[in-house]
Chain A
Amino acid sequence: MEEDLISKKELLEVTGISYGQLYRWKRKRLIPEEWFIRKSTFTGQETFFPRDKILARIERIKNMKDDLSLDELADVFSPSPAGVSVRWDEVSERHIVTEVAQRVYRERHPEARVLSFDELLCLYVLDAALQTGEVSLDEGRMALQLMENEYPQLQRGAEQGRAVELVFVRKLGIATCLLATLPGELRFEQGARVVARINIPACVEQLKLKLA
């Protein structure tokens, strides 16, 4: 899959930021390491970025940087959880997730009263999956279990700027789901169909904004 790339020079021209800003944001981990793609061109080594992702990210940084300090911004974009916890009744009051997702979560954790960021993330990912409309409740339960058991192990990688994705696969009515660390390639056999893909860092970001 060849992604649409933008060179650093073009990026600075289009967005009107300076080299100093770009490097500052990289230093503060507002822009993940993996987006800096090095390629040799006829003028020597040049750096490229995935066009859509970087343009969207820079737009958001520019919009938010007047209200938040760079360190606060880094918190918004970083995959490592901010030290927050939310009471269960707040989850429903503030409409953080839909009621369906709440019910599924309740089945598994009837006792839960306060959710840490990680637990909330599992719930949020479950909700995101259900909201795609492609994922059934049973598959949602499976995904929730997977997230709770396996995501903590992958998180270390996530902190180093690697994204994690939750992938739902179905074949002949049998469903399964898996967590993949990006960048990486997944290939499926013919009969299998990818039903939904949920990007976890995107969920983390949305969730943080909802909590803020």
Chain B
Amino acid sequence: MEQRDGTRNEHGVRRDLTITGEGSLGGGAYGRVRIRGEGELHGDVDCEALCVLGNCRAEGRVDARVVDVTGTLEVAGGARGGRVLGRGVITVHDACEWELVRYRGVLTVHGACRVDRLDVRGELTVEGDLTAETCEVWGVITVDGLVNAETLELVLFGPSRAGEIGGGTVTVRPNRVPFAGDGELMVDVVEGDQVSLYRTTAKVVRGGRVTIGRGCRVDVVEYRESYEADLRAEVGEVRKV
């Protein structure tokens, strides 16, 4: 384990720290924390950057300006910070708040998740509400609560599920990848100004401009401005309000 002085800020010097091989560090404020191999963080960690190449387990919170993971990161407390980048598996066992998430792999949050811009390719699971300004997911999404996003774009690669979806523009579309297979989305209610769906099973879809695409099964559609449905969609009742 090597240590050196790093970023200076108003609280004094924040130490940079690198773990190579195997090691652990206590909670506190750090500059850059680099883990190559296996690392454990005991207590709440507040750092400029947490870079993991390998595996890392945090017992407390992780508040970091940048989290960059290649491998796995498991956080027992909550997480908050700027950017989350990388590829691999991230599991957080409490509520999260980030500015930007650009992640390839599996991201699981056992709690509410609040992100400004979210871009996930892979699997996104949130036990609670997911709140984002822009939310783009290529893959599979599982959200127990409400997905609330100004723009939501969901490209289906597998069986997805959400409690409710609400926001400005909601787009669910098929992937164009050959041999990748088709996904589907199960959701209770979809509400938005512009809603465009594909292979979605929903009880109610309400919106301004609604497009129901191929393979959808919707019990009730309520629209205000326009409505379109694919011939291969099953729609129960359509109401203009």
List A residues at the B interface (Cβ < 8 Å). 9, 13, 18-20, 22-24, 26-27, 43-45
Contact = CB atoms under 8 A, between A and B. Distances in A.
Contact of A20 (B133, B150, B188, B189): B150
B57 interface: no
Query: By DSSP majority rule, is chain A's interface helix, strand, loop, or mixed?
Result: helix
Interface stretch (B3-11, B23-31, B33-41, B204-212): B204-212
A68 B220 CA distance: 37
Interface string B25-67: 0000000000000000000000000000000000000000000
Contacts of B241: 9, 13
A138 B91 CA distance: 54
A23 B208 CA distance: 14
Contacts of A23: 148, 150, 166-168, 191-192
Interface in B189-204: 189, 191-193, 203-204
B108 interface: no
Interface of B: 131, 133, 148, 150, 166-169, 188-189, 191-193, 203-204, 206-208, 220, 222, 224, 241
Given A27-B131, A44-B203, A45-B189, A20 B168 contact: yes
Given A9-B206, A20-B193, A26-B148, 13 more contacts: A18-B193, A19-B207, A20-B150, A20-B167, A20-B169, A20-B208, A22-B166, A23-B166, A23-B167, A27-B148, A43-B204, A43-B220, A44-B188
Nearest to B165: A23
Nearest to B206: A19
Contacts of B169: 20
**Which residue, A9, A22, A24, has most C-beta atoms of chain B within 10 A?**
A24
Contacts of B131: 27
Contacts of B208: 18-20
Nearest to B133: A27
A125 B204 CA distance: 45
Nearest to B195: A19
Nearest to B114: A27
Contacts of A20: 150, 167-169, 192-193, 208
Q: Which 3 A-B pairs have the closest CB atoms?
A: A20-B168, A20-B193, A23-B166
Given A9-B241, A44-B188, A19 B204 contact: no
Nearest to B190: A19
A9 B168 CA distance: 16
13 contacts: A19-B167, A19-B191, A19-B193, A19-B207, A20-B192, A20-B193, A23-B150, A24-B167, A26-B148, A26-B166, A27-B133, A27-B148, A27-B150
**Which residue, B131, B189, B191, has most C-beta atoms of chain A within 10 A?**
B191
